[in-house]
Amino acid sequence: MSEAVEVTRVVDRAHRESWPTVLASVVRLTRDLDLAEDCTQDAFVQALRTWPDGIPDNPGGWLTTVARRLALDRLRRETNLRRKLPLLVEEPGEVEQPTDPLRLVFTCCHPALARESQVALTLRLICGLTTREVAAVLLIGEATAAARITRAKKKIAAAGIPYRIPADHELPARLDVVLTVVHLVYTAGHVAAGPELTRTDLTGRAIELARMLERLMPDEPEPQALLGLLLMTEARGDARLSADGELVLLADQDRTRWNARLLAEGVSRATTALQRGHGRFALQAAVAGLHVIAPSWEKTDWRQVVRMYDAMMVSWPTPIVALNRAAARSLVPHADLSAVLAELDALSNEPALASYAYLPATRADVLTRLGRPDEAADAYRQAIELTGNETERRFLTTRLRNLGQALGPADRST
């Protein structure tokens, strides 16, 4: 491997691992999101230029030091330095703050911002996702994502929204959107855009944030539920790929490869949350729990899974929940697949699912089981066109090639 390639690889890894902490440190210094983002990006550019002379022992620390120095230099050159000087005085004990990324999440999720802007901005700043990647996660156009991010930054600056974790009485108003954002961060890493199935930097970051939230609000059931959900999903990570790197659906996974420690903690946290409430994350965790406690795919309690989705449709009636409910209904013994297909066809008219590959993939599976291979092939082609993950694309392409063979029930869960 050439020196330039090695440096690029190390910088890329540092970006994945250290972006949120570097950015959060600069935001704490400047209280200016645009300035902090610019200086953080410039620090990574400097790393590409200077690390060929020697990669530092602590890349994240080097990047934080450089980004903060760039920010101070920019502020000194501005004519309004005097106005900003008080903001540069850090509070005692703030030299190193492990909760900085969580503080940044709460800043982005301030109630003064529109909910859709809160989510887009947090994905951009906390994950370091490009605007295109943010758009893909949110199932919206790139221009729409860019506009939401820009509006949110301007609103934070104009309203003087503080960079801090809110006081206890302010937390409930922001909790739901913060939980949603953390879940989306995990989702963005669980099935990543690009050649790799998973981005462990994003899934790990989401779990870290979920743990921070649970410690911050120990009496709230939903942070506990979200953490349980993420841990149970993470526990299946090693089993999602075969030895040759191909996707393995939940139905076919070797359950002995699941991480028993993560499963035990996840089930425990989900159970505790369900005993204290039935919010949407508690219900999602219940679904995950039904999967992991089943001795096999065939013995999964699909009727109970459907009941959980029925409850979700009451409190959180989104098109994606409706899609998951329909997929689960198709797996109930002796299911009426024609009725399920009618549900899926109705969901095809939902704008929020227009670019969601799992809808045509689920239709393709149901059509295959109904003995309608030509229509199933069309649905698979649509799913292949929509998916942004190469591993999933290969899987769907194989399914398309194998349509002539007898296929058993499949679930979109991976």
User: CATH code at 401?
Assistant: 1.25.40.10
pLDDT in tens, 300-334: 999 999 999 999 999 899 999 999 999 999 999 99
Domain endpoint, select from 87, 113, 136: 87
pLDDT in tens, 78-97: 755 545 544 443 443 444 45
Q: What is the mean pLDDT of the chain?
A: 88
* Total tally of structural domains belonging to the chain: 2
Q: Where are the alpha helices (DSSP H) in 294-372?
A: 302-315, 319-329, 337-347, 358-369
Is 80 exceeded by the pLDDT of residue 110? yes
Instruction: Write the CA distances from 76 to 2, 162, 344, integer angstroms.
Output: 39, 22, 58
The CA R_g of the chain, rounded to the nearest whole Å, is 23
Instruction: Write the CA distances from 235 to 30, 94, 203, 221, 305, integer angstroms.
Output: 39, 34, 11, 21, 19
Structural domain contains residue 298: no
Structural domain contains residue 28: yes
Is 60 exceeded by the pLDDT of residue 277? yes
Structural domain contains residue 22: yes
Structural domain contains residue 177: no
Q: What predicted TM-score, i.e. pTM, was given to this entire model?
A: 0.83
Residue 195 pLDDT level (bands cut at 50, 70, 90): confident
The residue-averaged pLDDT of 97-110 equals 77
CA 263 to CA 285: how far, in whole Å? 12
CA 150 to CA 139: how far, in whole Å? 18
The residue-averaged pLDDT of 180-200 equals 88
Structural domain contains residue 150: no
What's residue 97's pLDDT?
56
Structural domain contains residue 92: no
Domain endpoint, select from 87, 111, 137: 87
Structural domain contains residue 371: yes
CATH of the domain at 7: 1.10.1740.10
Q: Which domain holds residue 364?
A: 334-414
Residue 128 gets the label, from left (phi > 0), alpha (psi -120 to 50) or beta, of: left
Residue 3 pLDDT level (bands cut at 50, 70, 90): confident
Which has more pLDDT, 294 or 2? 294
Domain endpoint, select from 87, 110, 136: 87
**Residue 326: Cβ within 10 Å count:** 23
Structural domain contains residue 262: no
Contact status, residue 165 vs residue 178, Cβ threshold 8 Å: no
